[in-house]
Amino acid sequence: MRGERVLTLLLEAGDVIHLRHHHDSGCSACLSQWEIDAVVTENPAVVCDRVAVKWAHTARQLLGGPAITGISVFCPDEQVLRIGRLPVGHLRQ
């Protein structure tokens, strides 16, 4: 997949990123692995010693339907694959 790896703190609202969740022992509540392309809906926020990134599923967001949303939490030095940006005016709150 094409894109650029960037630190999570450098993301901005409107960035399109590829998220991948792998089950690990530290995440006992999850049942499966998943991948999704999502648009960052707000600039990342530092919460304690982590970085929280709010996102919405891009296809639903672009079609104007109800968005599938989530928050992913990263280590401060963790990188994310940024694959593009939404065109101006396409980010709905």
Tell me the per-residue pLDDT of 62-92, one tens digit each, with 9 for 90 and over.
566 666 788 888 998 999 999 999 876 655 5
Asked if 52 and 73 touch (Cβ cutoff 8 Å), the reply is yes
Asked if 3 and 20 touch (Cβ cutoff 8 Å), the reply is no
Domain 4-85's class?
A: mainly beta
- Confidence at residue 93, expressed as pLDDT on a 0 to 100 scale: 47
Write down the domain spans for the chain. 4-85
Asked if 77 and 41 touch (Cβ cutoff 8 Å), the reply is no
12, 20, 68 from 6: Cα distances, Å: 11, 15, 23
How much is the pTM? 0.75
